[in-house]
Chains A and B, each alone.
Chain A
């Protein structure tokens, strides 16, 4: 009788551990989720641009959702292409402008129902012909993923990270669109 109880407890423990491990497996923010919607501005710059991203982190197996440099770069490039803000996005060096975006802060909650994530990134736009800095700005944005967005905590956190980055990209591109270049 007592042995059966021990076996049942053990099975329950194994099941609970499996759920805990699976629920704790986070994935990094997806580039599609971070890409901004086309800008309201109809400005089309007659220049090409090269994009670099830094300050991001890969998401480890037991980590919470992070933003990788490769996905951030791709999301910015997708956003530029969607909005037609620049004539073309150039891979590597060789664009008329170099856009460098560096994540300097990613504030994430550890527990909670509604997750609010804040991201700060430094946006720098340099004209390659004379190396003049035409934009240097810190942009801070937040996004809250509600319990209704996803019941799974790790997914909710990823959605919050993606939302905060998406808003950051939107604000960054709006700032560039307003520049007299």
Chain B
């Protein structure tokens, strides 16, 4: 009896803990008028609540993709696009990046011409470089399909 109860409790605990632990989302939306293939220079604006250096990960990823990248509060000169982002972190044994949204904006109007979003909960968590690569990759892929 006691053994059965223990097994049932363990199974229930597992069910409660795991059903919410494997949510994966990865989407990208690109404005029909956007020409992402013409973008050469971008400026990454750090998110005000970024405490973990996600801006640097985004800068590194964009440079690796061949873009001319600047970063800081405002661009020093003219750029083809602004890059903004919002990251959300969560704790499960260790802190991990739960969600990342990246927007590509028109530098003159701030209008978001493309947006990418990824969410991976604890059991399928990804490292910040992998999250950034997934989001930017999806935006670029979606832009090519236009």
B4 → A minimal CB distance (Å): 10
A138 to B93, CA, bound (A): 38
Is the CB–CB distance between B12 and A105 below 8 Å?
no
Given A6-B2, A7-B5, A62-B23: A138 in contact with B115 (beta carbons within 8 A): no
A24 to B15, CA, bound (A): 14
Is the CB–CB distance between A104 and B9 below 8 Å?
no
Contacts of A63 in B (CB 8 A): 23
Residue of A nearest to B15 (CB): A17
B3 → A minimal CB distance (Å): 11
B-side interface mostly: mixed
Is the CB–CB distance between B19 and A62 below 8 Å?
yes
Chain A window 143-181, contacts with chain B (Cβ cutoff 8 Å), 1 for yes, 0 for no:
000000000000000000000000000000000000000
Residue of B nearest to A137 (CB): B111
How many chain A residues sit at the interface, stated as a range, is 20 to 34
**Interface flag for B101 (CB, 8 Å):** yes
Chain A residues packing against B (C-beta within 8 Å): 3, 6-7, 10, 13-14, 17, 20-21, 24, 54-55, 57, 60-63, 100, 102, 104-105, 107, 110, 120, 122, 124, 133, 136-138
Nearest first, the 9 A-B pairs at minimum CB distance are: A62-B20, A104-B112, A104-B115, A55-B29, A122-B112, A136-B111, A17-B16, A54-B29, A10-B5
Chain B residues packing against A (C-beta within 8 Å): 1-2, 5, 8-9, 12-13, 16, 19-20, 23, 25, 27, 29, 31-33, 86, 88, 90, 101, 103, 105-106, 109-113, 115, 117
